[in-house]
Structure 1
Amino acid sequence: MSVSVEVGRFVIAGGAGARGRALGACGRDAFTSVVMRSALWRRLTAIDLVPAVRRMADTTRALFPDIHDEIAAMAEGLGLPFEPVFAWNARGDLLAGLGDGCTTVLVPGETPVIAHNEDGLPGLLGQCFLAHLRPDGTHAAMSFCYPGSIPGHSFAVTEAGLVITVNNLRLLGVEPEIPRMVLTRALLGVPDRAAAVALLRDTPPSAGYHLSIGQVGAPDIWSVTFGAGAVHVVENTHPLLHSNHAQVSGPVLSNQTITASSGDRLRRGADLLSQGTAPLSILTDTGGVGLPIFRDKPDDPDGENTLAQFMARISPTGIEWQVHTPGHAEPAHNGLMPINRVLPNG
């Protein structure tokens, strides 16, 4: 019997409680069958991590009560206690060497393009889904979601005119006070890129992420690297590829682990970009020296496979997006995110 690897698609609407319970229900079967059977889950729920989980949960409740409530309701939807589900949503903050991957291609210009490979646990192939968020009181968005995870930490488009993709960084020496996934969840509701950067600069330290942020009406694509209380912004006007290490200097953001896969993907992607290769062709590439950009091997050294491929074109009237089942030329899902910068209750 064949196993489906299609990406599901659901509407998630209402207040924090309704959204969280729906997110939990959408991911419950995969969370039970894949996540909770993994070594990663056993480590995240170990007793020695409980104080850090509680500290970050308290900070989240104080600064982002709506997101705290969304996670609590998601735990209800999963049929699990709050603390282990919160730990799953703080996994990159609790464990600095987490294997999360991803590759992003940034092509600024008159019609900017952002393309992205979402790489994760191989057992989650076909178990993730697209959430069309219709929250009360803030902007609508579309985000790729992992089972038991809040939206915002993979790739997303928002009604405010933003395209956001997220790459894991393995920063060292971080003492996180809030999960990085909480911060990227909050970014789905901001009105523009400047507000996104301001939010990151005004919040306590978290583990590290690299964000590619495009905005309707802007020809450039921002490269935003943050973690451990530091934020670095580059307004890119030339094509660029990003993998899973910070490409900036300085004592905080350069203190990191760079895996062989991340280095190999960056070098191969830069070569392909210099040859004018199309973004999706770069993301499906398996050539070059070293480990490939497109990841489908059971013995991947980071324990990662490509779970979905995403591309967005940013025009003056909206964001045309498409999501591909890994390696398939035709999109499994596509759409146009219209722009509405007026809040529902504004």
Structure 2
Amino acid sequence: MASSRIPLYRVKGTHYECAHTIGELTRESIRHRIADDLPYLTPLFAFVQTEYGQKLHRDFLETTRSLYPWYWDELRGLADGSAIPFEQLLVLNFLNETRTAYRLLEEKKQLENETGEKGCTTVLINRKDTNTLSLLHNEDHSTALYMTGYLVEADIQSSKYEDGKRESPKEKFIAYCYAGGIPGNAFGVNKHGFACTLNGLYPNFVAHGRLPRQIINRALLSVKNEEELDKLIHASPAAYGFCINGGFIHQCNYLLNYEIGPNLNIDNENYISKCRIINNEDNLEKKDDDDEYSTAFNYLIHYNHYERLDKVINQQKALQSSHSRWKRGQELGEIFNSKDAICLLGDYENEAFPIFRSSNQSDVKSRTLCTIHINFLTKELILYQHNPKENNEPSLTYNLADLFV
């Protein structure tokens, strides 16, 4: 069973119906989130009422309705079910893009500092010597989300669009959600066995008229295989940056990490860096000359700054937290198994920029909302609501095989 702090909701129906139900169930949580984060959100709510802010969101919505009309339905359903103003929900769903556009317009340095402090840490392990194939992740964000996050198990039926010319994917997944946001940009596993966690990356610009990361991240919950994943990433022009960490449970040869950001030099193109985490170099066979990627051996740790695309994407300067966590990870050394990963994810040696953030630390604006371990070999999603280094009793152990039937 899920903990009382992180409930598990089960919904079934169309995209609109499922989102509407979630909106009804989480109405008070969304209100609490907004109230707790009001000093931070108020200028963003005001910004999207300006001519520039309205155009920013209008362009995002037009692109979303064109490419993924079923996720536009989810935004509508969430707003209708929660009775929260649609403009405010869009800020919550398009948060990274909105605050960066606002900061660049207003030149507010304090928002720049907040951005890097709210990012996540992910460990991908693929080792034969310790028989470990796992994805472990700290979900970090605003303290206002600590009591309002939830898990959703969704069974979404396919719907027809554009007079039957298009059809939305039939989806089934479990995902962690922020109050007021559609699923996708934290972590999740779908019925095809694709498991992923997401890390924010922070270009110092926003690409207008493209897809906010929330929409692309939401679409990840429908992918069936690696080829479809690559196609989705290439065909979905990103307005902002993010990192995908994941793999396919039914295909246990390697794990995947993608760094993604908008390429402003070419219309609707993304910068994409793909990395496979392998346990044996013999497993690596490139399909053709166009299949370009890098490799990591045995494990990879990713934070909130570009490591492979840093030469082509201009990043925000205020990423001290990400770089400090990276440095601490280097000090802790090689990751051999999930216990080592939990020791890293539970570390708070650096008081200013700890890897695991709690209410006892000086940074009261950001917390580790939960830690998860997706075990590809046992097909389990294990969720910890406390620091797993100090309290290894999970609050939820979810049998992923239930999704695959």
Q: What secondary structure sits across from 2:119 in the alignment? A: coil
In 2 relative to 1, CA 302–208 (structure 1 residues): closer, same or farther, beyond 3 Å? farther
In structure 1, the gaps of 5 or more residues are: none
Rounded to whole Å, the distance in 1 between the matches of 2:205 and 2:368 is: 28
Rounded to whole Å, the distance in 2 between the matches of 1:287 and 1:248 is: 27
Rounded to whole Å, the distance in 2 between the matches of 1:273 and 1:76 is: 49
Rounded to whole Å, the distance in 2 between the matches of 1:5 and 1:39 is: 27
Rounded to whole Å, the distance in 2 between the matches of 1:161 and 1:258 is: 36
In 2 relative to 1, CA 261–24 (structure 1 residues): closer, same or farther, beyond 3 Å? same
Larger Rg: 2
Deviation at 1:322, TM superposition (A): 0.7
Rounded to whole Å, the distance in 2 between the matches of 1:189 and 1:211 is: 14
Percent identity between the two aligned chains = 25
Q: Alignment partner for residue 401 of structure 2, among 338, 342, 345?
A: 338
Q: What secondary structure sits across from 1:206 in the alignment? A: coil
What is the alpha-carbon root mean square deviation over aligned residues?
2.3
Deviation at 1:326, TM superposition (A): 2.3
Q: Is the 2:199–2:243 Cα contact (8 Å) retained in structure 1?
A: yes
Q: Is the 2:20–2:77 Cα contact (8 Å) retained in structure 1?
A: yes
In 2 relative to 1, CA 257–22 (structure 1 residues): closer, same or farther, beyond 3 Å? farther
Deviation at 1:81, TM superposition (A): 3.0
In 2 relative to 1, CA 134–270 (structure 1 residues): closer, same or farther, beyond 3 Å? farther
- For 2:216, the equivalent position in structure 1 comes to 183
- For 1:156, the equivalent position in structure 2 comes to 188
1:199 equivalenced with 2:232 (yes/no) = yes
- 1:148-184 per-position Cα deviation (integer Å, ceiling 9, x unaligned): 1011100111111111001111111232421101001
Rounded to whole Å, the distance in 2 between the matches of 1:306 and 1:230 is: 29
TM norm structure 1:
0.90
Q: Is the 2:176–2:188 Cα contact (8 Å) retained in structure 1?
A: yes
Q: Alignment partner for residue 54 of structure 1, among 58, 62, 67?
A: 58
- For 2:381, the equivalent position in structure 1 comes to 321
In 2 relative to 1, CA 218–173 (structure 1 residues): closer, same or farther, beyond 3 Å? same
Q: Is the 2:335–2:341 Cα contact (8 Å) retained in structure 1?
A: no
Q: What secondary structure sits across from 1:274 in the alignment? A: coil
- For 1:106, the equivalent position in structure 2 comes to 124
- 1:219-241 per-position Cα deviation (integer Å, ceiling 9, x unaligned): 32111011212111111222121
In 2 relative to 1, CA 220–312 (structure 1 residues): closer, same or farther, beyond 3 Å? same
1:243 equivalenced with 2:303 (yes/no) = yes
1:122 equivalenced with 2:184 (yes/no) = no
Q: Is the 2:382–2:397 Cα contact (8 Å) retained in structure 1?
A: yes
Q: What secondary structure sits across from 2:181 in the alignment? A: coil
More divergent stretch after superposition (213-222 vs 151-160): 213-222
Q: For residue 314 of structure 1, what is the amino acid of its counterpart?
A: F
- For 1:226, the equivalent position in structure 2 comes to 260
Rounded to whole Å, the distance in 1 between the matches of 2:395 and 2:310 is: 41
- For 1:43, the equivalent position in structure 2 comes to 43
1:212 equivalenced with 2:234 (yes/no) = no
In 2 relative to 1, CA 298–251 (structure 1 residues): closer, same or farther, beyond 3 Å? same
- For 1:282, the equivalent position in structure 2 comes to 344
More divergent stretch after superposition (176-185 vs 254-263): 254-263
Deviation at 1:113, TM superposition (A): 0.6
Q: Is the 2:154–2:173 Cα contact (8 Å) retained in structure 1?
A: yes
Q: Is the 2:174–2:189 Cα contact (8 Å) retained in structure 1?
A: yes
Q: Is the 2:143–2:364 Cα contact (8 Å) retained in structure 1?
A: no
Deviation at 1:287, TM superposition (A): 2.0
Rounded to whole Å, the distance in 1 between the matches of 2:396 and 2:214 is: 24
Q: Is the 1:247–1:254 Cα contact (8 Å) retained in structure 2?
A: no
TM norm structure 2:
0.77
Rounded to whole Å, the distance in 2 between the matches of 1:300 and 1:12 is: 38
Q: What secondary structure sits across from 2:400 in the alignment? A: strand
Q: What secondary structure sits across from 2:171 in the alignment? A: coil
In structure 2, the gaps of 5 or more residues are: 101-111, 159-169, 263-269, 279-297
Rounded to whole Å, the distance in 1 between the matches of 2:194 and 2:213 is: 19
